[in-house]
Amino acid sequence: MGWNDWYQYECKISDAIIRAQADALVSTGMKAAGYIYVNIDDCWMGKRDAQGNIQPNSNFPDMKALGDYIHSKSLKFGIYTSPGPTTCADQEGSYRHEEQDARTYASWGVDFLKYDWCSAQDVYRPDEMQGAYKEMHDAILSTGRPMVYSLCQYGFQSVWEWGASVGGNMWRTTEDIGGNYRRWSLFAFQNNGLEKYAGPGHWNDPDILLIGIGKTNLDEDRAQMTLWCILAAPLLAGNDLTKMSPEILAILTNPEVIAVDQDPNGIQGRRVWQEGPREIWMKLLSDGSKAVGMFNRSVGTLPVTLRFSDIGIRGKASVRDLWARKDLGVLKDSYTVAIPRYGAAMVKVEPE
């Protein structure tokens, strides 16, 4: 759990912006809710010095000092590069400087590395992709500093099948979701069927949250948070935390919803029912209860009915609305709720 700058700022980032976001993680209660990584994406890098050491650009005068500042807040520091010669924004990549860059990041106190394929396709054959990712993982290990290793290569070559074997802790399963509801839902719902590849220490990553960036409404934001938590996905907020509305903060920090995402068993949920634009997803929790996401992917309000038999429960069950944070009582056989366009409901169900 943490924050990433890309969808809000793209290349318009600086030391001051990152410090302000770190401050806001603490002051808003985001850190207390579990968001601890402050991840800088593309466009922080400058050129290499005469010895080949990567240097930050003028917007980041001292990366070690920035890392120290983030750590002083009891937060963790994340950074970004590419296995290719350049990044997606045509900045300096790590090609042929893997060990050198890993040592540099370790010296700065980096705790998280996002490794984005981008121009690597120009220098590596498709069958060399796994080796390129393993090379940087080995370089990280050689530093002795633990770092979360995030593979960003858009689901190429079914990365979920081999991401863990090259050291990945998380791997993007699809293209970038940046945009509106239609775009993120197009890709995120494709994570069904990938649940067997996820678990503690290695996660399917459907990308950064768009909540609060300004391209989706509150119903759509709750739907994204619901799906990400059912998927046991990494939760990386992407909005400007210094200008966050109370409603957005409530979505990002709802403790009962986050508890589903962070359930210690780390089981990724799956789709259990679909009819047209209506879908129901279920995640088994460590206490034996079941978290259920109910989605309406149509352009108008629709009723969605959860039949308890579809999640392996016969007869009566107690149902709790996780967004409203209230018990709905003991119900028999099913639960029906009207869901607005592109919205979702999220409940916890326990057999009686």
d(CA 343, CA 271): 16
d(CA 291, CA 336): 15
Domain span including residue 296: 270-351
Of 261, 295, 326, which one is at a domain's C-terminal end? 261
Q: Identify the burial level of 229 via C-beta atoms within 10 angstroms of its C-beta, where 0-12 means exposed, 13-18 middle and 19 or more buried.
A: buried
User: What's the pLDDT score for residue 349?
Assistant: 98
The SS3 of residue 106 is helix
Strand 302-307 relative to strand 316-321: parallel, antiparallel, unpaired? unpaired
**Cβ-contact 50, 85 below 8 angstroms:** no
Q: Are residues 274 and 257 in the same domain?
A: no
Q: Are residues 170 and 196 in the same domain?
A: yes
User: What's the pLDDT score for residue 159?
Assistant: 98
Q: Are residues 64 and 187 in the same domain?
A: yes
In single-letter form, the type of residue at position 192 comes to N
Q: Are residues 31 and 179 in the same domain?
A: yes
Mean pLDDT by 10 residues, the chain (352 residues): 98 98 98 98 98 98 98 98 98 98 98 98 97 98 98 97 98 97 97 98 98 98 98 98 98 98 98 98 98 98 98 97 98 98 98 94
d(CA 197, CA 169): 11
**Cβ-contact 44, 59 below 8 angstroms:** yes
* Total number of domains in the chain: 2
Q: Are residues 191 and 239 in the same domain?
A: yes
Tokens of 168: 């990945």
Q: Are residues 130 and 243 in the same domain?
A: yes
Buried b (16+ CB within 10 A) or exposed e, 19-56: bebbebbeebebbebebbbbbbbbbbbeeeeeeeebeb
Residues designated as active site: 116, 176
User: What's the pLDDT score for residue 326?
Assistant: 98
d(CA 142, CA 131): 16
- DSSP label of 141: H
DSSP for 299-344, please give it.
Answer: SS-EEEEEEGGGGT--SEEEEEETTTTEEEEEEESEEEEEE-TT-E
In single-letter form, the type of residue at position 312 comes to G
Q: Are residues 140 and 157 in the same domain?
A: yes
Q: How far is CA 140 from the centre of its chain?
A: 21
Q: Are residues 192 and 323 in the same domain?
A: no
Digit-coded pLDDT (tens) for 17-54:
999 999 999 999 999 999 999 999 999 999 999 999 99
CATH of the domain at 111: 3.20.20.70
- DSSP label of 243: G
d(CA 351, CA 317): 4
User: What's the pLDDT score for residue 234?
Assistant: 98
Of 206, 241, 261, which one is at a domain's C-terminal end? 261
Q: Are residues 75 and 138 in the same domain?
A: yes
The SS3 of residue 269 is coil
User: What's the pLDDT score for residue 40?
Assistant: 98
Q: Are residues 213 and 279 in the same domain?
A: no
Alpha carbon of 299 to those of 250, 281, 294: distances in Å?
A: 25, 20, 15
> CB under 8 Å to 330, separation ≥6 — which residues?
316, 317, 318, 319, 352
Q: What are phi and psi of 274, to 5 degrees?
A: -150, 140
Tokens of 181: 């509801």
d(CA 34, CA 29): 9
User: What's the pLDDT score for residue 192?
Assistant: 98
Q: Are residues 241 and 145 in the same domain?
A: yes
User: What's the pLDDT score for residue 179?
Assistant: 94
Q: How far is CA 41 from the centre of its chain?
A: 13
CATH of the domain at 285: 2.60.40.1180
Q: Are residues 35 and 183 in the same domain?
A: yes
Place of tokens 């850190």: 31
Tokens of 333: 């056989």
Of 240, 261, 282, which one is at a domain's C-terminal end? 261
Tokens of 117: 């394929």
d(CA 224, CA 215): 13
